[in-house]
Structure 1
Amino acid sequence: MNQLQFLWGLCLALALAVTPISQWQPPTQTAIDTLAVQLDGRKKPLDTVARETVTTIHGSSRYQLASGEVLDAPQIYWSLWLNSRNWNDEPFVLVNYRPLKAQLGLPLEQKHFSFSTLINSNLGLILQQAHTKQLQEQPLTRDEREALTLEDRLNLMLDTVGSQSLPLVPHPMDIKGTWVGITDTEQLYPPEMAAKIQTQFEQLNQQYQAQRDDLDSLAEPAALLQQSLADLSPEIYPAMATLQREAFFNHFHPFGKAWKLYGIAFLVLLTSQPISSFNLYWTGMGTFLGGILIQAFGFGLRMQIAGRPPVTNMYESVVWVGFGIAALAFCFELQTRARSYLYAAAPLAVVCLLLADSLPAVLDPSIEPLVPVLRDNFWLSIHVPTITLSYASFALAMGLGHLALVQYWRHPQGGSTASALSRLNTRVIQVGILLLTTGIILGGIWAHFSWGRFWGWDPKETWALIALLCYLAPVHGRLAGWLGQFGMNVASVLGFNAVLMAWYGVNFVLGTGLHSYGFGTGGSAVLITGLVGMDSLFVLATILRYRSQQHRSASPSVPEVQTADA
C-alpha cells in the first residue's frame, strides 16, 4: 500500500509538470522561436535572445502597457527589434537600487523608468567618475557599480531597438566565423542570394507590422527565412534539434515547476502529520521525488545546451543548492523515515528556486561562455558542485536547527522531538564538513594548476575556510562534551551565516578577489542583513528562554516552615 501511494504521488507530480494548465502550458517551438542567432559567444535560438534581453533590461519577462495589455518576452523583443512602439517613453528600464535613484533624483518607490528619463538625469556624471576610476584601476563604490549595470541595460536597449545588425546570417565556411545582420548579407554571399534573404526578411517585417504582437501570424514567413538561412551554410547553421532543445527548455521552465512541486509536497506532508496518515506521507514523498526528477531533467537539458556543468554563476549555484537540499533530504528521509528532513528541506528548496525564478536581474539565468579559468571541465565538474553541495548540507542543517529551536519554544526542556532533531542535525553537519573540506582541497589543487599557487587567502578561499571552522568547532565541542544538543542546534543556525558570507557576501558585497567571475550587482545587502538580524534575535530569544528554564530547574526548592500549635 505504501509503495502504491508513493507511486501515486510521483505520477501526480509528473502529470502536473506536463498538463496544459495556465503556466503549466506545454512548450511548442516554431521558426519564430528557433531562428539561430550568434550572440555573446555562442549560437542560440531567437527565443533565448528575447528572454535574456527583456529580463536584463526590465528585470521580468512580462510588461504591462498603459492600456492594461500584458506582453511576454518574445512579444516585447519583436516590438523593440522592429521598432513598432515608442519605447523611449515607456517606463521599461529597471532601477532597483535606492541610493542610486536618490542620486539621480528619481522617485524611490518606483522601480522602472523610461529611457528618456534616465538619459536626461545626471547619470552621465556618475558614469564618468566610474569610467575614470576603471581607467586608473581604482576600486568602485557600490553606487558606481550599480550605475555601470544601469548603463549596460540602457546600451542593450539602444542596441536592440530597430537593430539592423542582429547576427542572423551564418558565416559560409568557418564554424567560428562572425555572423552578420540581414542588411550586411552581401558581405558574405553573392548579391542574388543576399537579395533573397533581405526580401524574405522584409516580408516578415511587413507581416509583423500588419499583425502587431500576434507572433503566430509570423510562423510561415519565419519558416521560409529560417530555411533560406540554413541553406546558405548547412554545415555552419545549428541543427534544428539543438535549437528546439533550447527553446523547449525555455518554454518548459523546469526549475519553476520544481519549486511548485516541492511546495505541494510540503503541504501534503503537513496534512499527513495532524491526521497521522502514513499513506499521505508516502504520497508527499512521491510528489517530492517528482520535483527532484523534474529539476534533474532541467539540469540535464541545461548541461546539454551549455556543454558544461550548470554551476558557473550565482543563478546556477542557487538552483543547484536547492536541488542539493532536496536530494540530500530525500536520501536521509528514505534511510531514517524521520519526516523531519523533508519538513526542513521543502521550504528551503522552494525559497532557492523561487529566488532564482523571480530575480533574473540579480541572478542572471543566461548561458554565457566561460572565463578562461573555468574552462577545465574536469575541475569545474568536481570542485564547484562539491562546494555548493556542502552549502546545501549546511542549509538543511540550518532548517533542522530551526525546527529544533521551535520545539524548545514549545517545550523549554526540548523533549524527545528536539533530541531526535539534534541527532539528525549533527549527521547532516558532518556530511557538510566532509563535502566542504573536500571541495576546499580540490579548489586548492585547481588553483595550483590555474594560478600557480595552492592557497592565496583570496576572500572566497578565506571565507570558505571560516565557514569550515564555524562547523568544525561545534562538532568537536559536541564530541568532547562541551556542547549539548541545544548548543548544536544553535550552532547549525548561526554557522550558516558564515556560509552565506562565503556564498553571497563575497560575490555581492565585497566584490574583490580572483573569483571575480562570480561577482554581481543588484543583491540587496540591506535585506539580507535584516533577515540575518531577525533570525539572530530569534536565536538569542530562544537561548535566553532556554537558560531561564535551566536556571529554574537547577534552583533548589525552599521547604515550607511549619509551626506547631501552642
Structure 2
Amino acid sequence: MKLTTFLIGLVLGAVLLVMPISQWQPDGLDSLRSLTVQLDGRKKPLDTVAQETVAKIHGSTSYKLADGTKEDALSTYLAMWFNTRNWNEEPFVLVSYRPLKEAAGLDIERKQFTFQELMANRELAGIVSEAHRKELNDVDLSRNEREALTIEGRLNLLYQSVGDRQLPIVPHPDDIKGKWGSLDETAKLYTPEQAAPLLAAFAMMQQTLLQGGATHIPMVADLASQLKAGLQQLSPEIYPADAVMGREVHFNHFHPFAKAWQLYAIAFTVLLVSQWIKRWNVYWTAIGLFTAGIAVQSYGFFLRMQIADRPPVTNMYESVVWCGFGIMAIALLLEVFSQKRFYLLAAAPLSVVCLVLADSLPAVLDPSIAPLVPVLRDNFWLSIHVPTITLSYASFALALGVGHVALFNYLFTPQAKQRIKTLSQLNYRVLQVGVLLLTAGIILGGIWAHFSWGRFWGWDPKETWALIALLCYLAPLHGRLVGWLGDFGIHVASIVSFNAVLMAWYGVNFVLGTGLHSYGFGTGGSELLIASVVGLDLLVVLATAARHYGWFKRSEPLTTAENLEQSMSQL
C-alpha cells in the first residue's frame, strides 16, 4: 500500500512537470535563441543574453508595453538590439530602493523610470559621483551610493544594448579561446566575400523588425537561421555545437527550480490533508511528490553545473536555491527515518519561500552564470566549503520551521503534551546537524583562506558572523544538555538564533557590503521588509511565551474584598 501511494505521488509529479504542453511545442525560434554570443567571459545563447539583459535593467524577464501587451525577454531584447523603439522614453529602468528615490527626488511609488529622466537627474548624478570618489580613495560606500552605482550600471547596459553593433557573434577563425568579433569586424577576421552575406542577413532582420515589430519575429527567425548557418560555416570547429547551446536554452525555459517549488507546495497541501483527514491515506503520496520535487531540482542543478562547469553555489542566487534544496532534502531524509510527519510540514513552506524568491527577484538575486572570480577557481574547496555552510543554514532554517510548528501547538493545542515533546526532540536533532555542518564549514573555510589569503582567520565580517551564528546555536544546545532549557526554550532558541544566520547570510552581503567575500555582495534587498518580518516573528514568540508562562494571569485567586472592589469598579 505504501509503495503504491508513493508511486502515485511520483506519477502525479511527472504529470505536473510536463504541464503546460505548450512548453514542448516548437515555435520556430530555436535558431534565433541558440545563436551563440561570446559575452562576459563565456559563450552563451542569445536567449540567455536576452534574459540576463532585460532582467538586469528591468528587474523582470518580461516587459509590459504602454498598450498592455506583454513581451518576453527575447522580443524586448531584439527591440533594443535593432533599436526599433525610442528607448529614451520607455519606462524600463528599475529603481526599487526607496531611500535612494527619496534622495534623488524620484516618485517613490514608481519602480521603473525612463533613461532620459534618470540621466537628467542631478541629485542621482551627484550620488554616483560621490560613490566613484569614495571608490578611488578606498572608502566604504553607503547603501544609497551602492544602489546608485547599480542604477548607473543599468543605464550603461541599456545604452550599450540599444543598437548594439559590437555584439560578439562572429567566431574566431582558429583559436577556441580567441576573442570573437562583431558583424562589423567580420571583414577583419574573414574575407569580404564571407562577410557580405552575414551583413545582408543582419540588415534584413533589422528592416523586418522596423516594419512589423514583434509580429514579424517569426520572419526574423528565418533570417536568423541563415545568419547562424553562415556563422557556423565560417569556423565549424570553433562554433559551439547546437546541443551545447540548446541545453542552456532548455534550462532557461524548463524552469526546473520554479517547477520544484510548485511540486513542494502541492505536496505540502497533500500532507496537510493527510493530517486532517485520517481516512485519506495520502501520506506516502505526499512523500512521492516531495521526491519528484527534489528530483527535478537536482536535474536543474545538473544542467546548471554542465553549463557553468562548476558547482552552483557561487553567488546569493545559487546559495538561496541550494538552501531551499537542502531544507527539503534534510527534511525528507529525517522524515523517512522518523515518519513523524513534522519535518516536511516545517520544511515545505521555507523551501517554497526560498525558491519563489530566487525565481521572482532577478534584479536582487542575479541568476546569471558568470566566470568565477580568482579566489573561487579552486573547485575542490568551492565544492566542499560553500555547500557545507549553506547546508548548515538549511538545517537551521528547518529548525526554525519546526520551532514554528511547535509554537503553533503551544498557542492552539497546549494540551497536546506528547506532540510538543516529540517536536522538541526532533528540533534538537536538527540543531545538532546544523551545528556539525556549520563547524565543519567554518574549519574548511579557514583552510581555504589559508591557501588563498595566507591566513586561517582574519575577522572578516563573513567569518565573524558565521562564528557568532555558531555560538548562538551552541549555547542552547549546551543549555539543553545540562537542563537549563526545556522543550519550550529549545523551540524559542531555534527561532531567535536564526537571526544570526540571517545576518551572516543576508546582512553581510546586502547591508554591510564590506570584506573579502565581496563576490557574494548584492544590492536591491529591503532591510525594512526583513526587519518587519523579523519583528513580527519575535512578537509571535513573545505572545506564545506570555501564554505558555501565564505572564498576564494572576498567580493567586482574588480575595472577597478584591472581588467586591472589582465588581464596584465595573459598575
Which of 431, 434, 445 is the matching residue for 2:433?
431
How far has the Cα of 1:222 moved from its partner? Answer: 1.1
Q: CA offsets per residue over residues 49-78 of structure 1, 9 Å max, x none?
A: 000000000001111111111111001000
Q: CA deviation at 1:237?
A: 1.2
CA gap 1:544/1:390 in 2 versus in 1, 3 angstroms: same
Tell me the secondary structure at the aligned position of residue 349 of structure 1: helix
One-letter code aligned to 1:233: S
* Structure 1 residue 20: Cα displacement: 2.3
How much has 1:558 moved relative to structure 2? 10
Within a 5 Å distance, the mapping from 1:439-450 to structure 2 comes to: 439-450=441-452
Shift of 1:281: 1.3
Q: After TM superposition, list the pairs within 5 Å mapping 1:90-109 onto structure 2.
A: 90-109=90-109
Residue aligning to 1:216: 218
Report the counterpart of residue 545 of structure 1 in structure 2.
547
On the 8 A contact 1:255/1:295 being kept in 2, the answer is yes
Q: Distance in 1 between matches of 2:218 and 2:338?
A: 52
Q: Say whether residues 1:321 and 2:286 are aligned partners.
A: no
Give the 3 Å change call, closer, same or farther, for CA 175–410 of structure 1 in structure 2.
same
Shift of 1:278: 5.5
- The CA deviation string for residues 221-272 of structure 1, in whole angstroms up to 9 with x for no partner, is 2111111111111222112111000000001011111111111111111111
How many pairs align?
A: 557
Task: Give the structure 2 partner of residue 130 of structure 1.
Answer: 131
Q: Is contact 1:345-1:396 (8 Å) kept?
A: yes
Alpha-carbon RMSD across the aligned residues, in angstroms, is 1.8
**Unpaired segments of 5 or more residues in structure 1?**
561-566
Match of 1:502 in 2: 504
Aligned to 1:384: 386
TM-score by length of 2: 0.95
Q: In structure 1, which of residues 384, 394, 397 is the aligned counterpart of residue 396 of structure 2?
A: 394
Deviation at 1:25, TM superposition (A): 6.0
Conserved 8 A contact 1:13-1:287: yes
Say which SS state the counterpart of residue 543 (structure 1) adopts: helix
In 2, the alpha carbon distance for the partners of 1:148 and 1:476 equals 46
- Structure 1 stretch displaced more, 181-190 or 375-384: 181-190
Give CA deviations for 1:504-535 in whole Å, capped at 9, x if unaligned: 00000111111011011111011111111111
SS at the partner of 2:214?
Answer: coil
CA separation of 1:77 and 1:444: change in aligned 2, threshold 3 A: same
- Deviation of 1:19 after TM superposition, in Å, equals 2.5
Using the TM superposition, give the Cα deviation of residue 556 of structure 1 relative to its aligned residue in structure 2, in angstroms.
Answer: 8.1
Partner of 2:566: none
Map of 1:563 onto structure 2: none
SS at match of 1:255: helix
Provide the rounded CA distance (Å) in 1 between the counterparts of 2:214 and 2:294: 36
* 2:268 is the alignment partner of 1:266: yes
CA distance in 1, matches of 2:32, 2:177: 24
2:12 maps to which residue? 12
Is the deviation greater in 103-112 or in 298-307? 103-112
Counterpart of 1:175, as a letter, is I
SS at match of 1:273: helix
Paired residue for 2:54?
54
> Secondary structure of 2:173's partner?
coil
Task: Report SS of the residue matched to 2:479.
Answer: helix
Percent identical among aligned pairs is 62
1:465–1:299 Cα change, 3 Å: same
Residues 1:86 and 2:86 aligned together: yes
Does structure 1 conserve the Cα–Cα contact (< 8 Å) formed by 2:508 and 2:514?
yes
Distance 1:2 1:119 in 2: 63
Maintained 8 Å contact 1:18/1:26: no
TM-score normalised by structure 1 residue count: 0.95
2:36 is aligned with 1:30: no
* Structure 1 range deviating more: 187-196 or 322-331: 187-196
Bigger mean CA deviation after superposition, 204-213 or 281-290: 204-213
Q: Hey, what's the Cα distance between the residues in 2 that align with 1:210 and 1:218? A: 11
Q: Distance in 1 between matches of 2:329 and 2:408?
A: 24
- Output the amino acid matched with 1:543: A
Distance, in Å, in 1 between the alignment partners of 2:25 and 2:222 is: 21
* Structure 2: distance between partners of 1:81 and 1:197: 16
1:133, CA displacement in angstroms?
1.1
Decide whether the 8 Å contact of 2:332 with 2:344 is kept in 1.
Answer: yes
> Where does residue 118 of structure 2 map in the other structure?
118
What is the Cα deviation at residue 208 of structure 1?
Answer: 2.8
